[in-house]
Amino acid sequence: MRPVYLDFNATAPLEPAAREAIQEILAGPLLGNPSSTHAPGQRARLLLDAAREELLRIAGLERTHHLVFCSGGTEGNHLALRRAPGEENGGTLLTTAIEHPSLLEAARARAAEGGLDLAFLPLDDSGRVLRESMRESSKQARLCAVHAAHNELGTIQDLAALRAALPASARLHADACQYWGKVAFDLSALRADSLVVSAHKIGGPVGIGALFVRKDLELEPLLRGGGQERGYRAGTESVLLAHAFVAAARAREQRAMEDAEHVRALRDQLRAELLQAIPALRVLTPDDGALPNTLCVTLPRGDGRALLMAAQLQGLAISSGSACSSGAARPSAALLALGLDEASARRSLRFSLGPTTTPADIAHTASILRSLHARFAAIDAS
C-alpha cells in the first residue's frame, strides 16, 4: 500500500517552519501569561504582538482591521456574526445554501437571535452567486456572510461584486479559510468588514485562527472574562500556537506563486487522467475561477461511500463533502443544494492537493480510482 494524502482542504500537514517555531518556544526561556506584568509575561506579550502584526501585514489589513486570535474558522464565523452595538433589528441576513456548516449554523443563530430574515442568494451550477440577482436580493440586507472560496467545489466567490451590490450600511463577512494562502494572502481586495482564516489550512497548528475585524466595528463577544483580544475573546492567549501560525504563514507567503503553479498543474493532470479513465465522470469544479488545488468530481455509478472506503484502504486519503461532516453517513449538503440528486452526491469525491503532492501521487491516485470504478461497475452490472 502506497499512502497518498490528497485532503489538504481538510488540514494541511504541519509546515517545517511551524514545527521549528514550536521547538524554539519550547526550548527557549520561560513564557508567562501575556497579561502579566513580570518579565516572563512581557516576553510572551512581545511574541504575541509580533505575531499579530505580522499576520496583519501578510493579510494586507494592517491599516484597516484588528486581528482577534481565535480557535479557528468555526469560532471566527460565530464571533463575526454577532450583533454590533446599535445594529438594528429587522432586515435580511444574506448567505448561500452551500456554506460551510459552521457559517450556516452561525447565520441561523444570528437570524433567530437578532430578528433578521435569513435569505439564500441564488447560485449558478458551480456555486457562484448569480450577479443579476445581487442587487435585488441585497436591498434589505443588514449582514451578508459567504465563503471566499468553497471548501468542496473550489469555486471562488466574487466578494468585491457582492460588496458593491450591498447597501453601504450592510456588513460583509467572508469565510476565507480556504482562500487565504491558496488564491492570495492579501485579503484587502475582498472588501469585507470581517474575515476569518485558520492556521491548519496553510500548514500551521490546529487550534488557532484569526478573525480580522474592521477597526471601527465592535461586536458582542462570545466569551466574556478577562478582556483579552480587545474584549472580543476572553481567555489566556496561546503564544505557542500564534508563533507557529505566523511561521507557517510567512513560509507559505514566500513561495505562494510557486505553490499555486505546482498544485494547479497537478490538479489539471489529475482531472485529465480521471476523465480518460472514467469518460462519464462529471467534474463539478469550474475550469476558471476555482482554487488551484481542488478537484471535485461525481462518479457515474457505484456506491460512493463504499468506493471511498475502498480507496482509503489502499492508502488514498481523499474526502466526500466537508471534513467537519464527512464522518456522517449522508451526502454533501452543499452538492444537494446545487441540485445534485442524493445518489450523485454520494458518489462525489473531493481531491485537494498541496505543496508536497507529486506527479507520482497523481498517477497512483488515478490508477486506484480507475481500478475501483471498474470493479464497482462490474458489480453493478452483475
Burial class (CB within 10 angstroms; exposed 0-12, middle 13-18, buried 19+) of 328:
exposed
**Dist CA 338 CA 345 (whole Å):** 10
Domains annotated on the chain, with CATH? 4-12+256-381 (3.90.1150.10), 16-254 (3.40.640.10)
Q: Which of 282, 257, 100 is nearest to 174 (CA)?
A: 100
Burial class (CB within 10 angstroms; exposed 0-12, middle 13-18, buried 19+) of 352:
buried
Burial class (CB within 10 angstroms; exposed 0-12, middle 13-18, buried 19+) of 382:
exposed
Neighbours of 287 (CB within 10 A): 9
Q: What is the full DSSP assignment across 194-209?
A: EEEEEGGGGT--TT-E
User: Which of 144, 177, 296, 324 is an active site residue?
Assistant: 324
The residues near 9 (Cβ < 8 Å, ≥ 6 apart) are: 151, 152, 178, 201, 291, 293, 294, 319, 323, 350, 352
pLDDT of residue 307: 87
Q: Which of 324, 300, 289, 366 is nearest to 124 (CA)?
A: 289
**Dist CA 113 CA 94 (whole Å):** 15
Does the active-site annotation cover 324?
A: yes
pLDDT of residue 382: 67
Q: Which of 33, 30, 35 is nearest to 228 (CA)?
A: 35
pLDDT of residue 326: 47
pLDDT of residue 114: 79
Q: Which of 253, 126, 245 is nearest to 180 (CA)?
A: 253
Tens digits of pLDDT across the chain (382 residues): 799 999 999 999 999 999 999 999 999 999 999 999 999 999 999 999 999 999 999 999 999 999 999 999 999 999 999 988 777 778 899 999 999 999 999 999 999 987 899 999 999 999 999 988 777 777 789 999 999 999 999 999 999 999 999 999 999 999 999 999 999 999 999 999 999 999 999 999 999 999 999 999 999 998 899 999 999 999 999 999 999 999 999 999 999 999 999 999 999 999 999 999 998 999 999 999 999 999 999 999 877 788 889 999 999 999 986 445 545 557 899 999 999 999 899 999 999 999 999 999 999 999 999 999 888 877 776 6
The stretches of 60-190 forming alpha helices (DSSP H) are: 73-80, 101-114, 131-137, 159-165
Total-model pTM: 0.95
pLDDT of residue 378: 77
Q: For residue 46, which phi and psi values (nearest 5 degrees)?
A: -65, -40
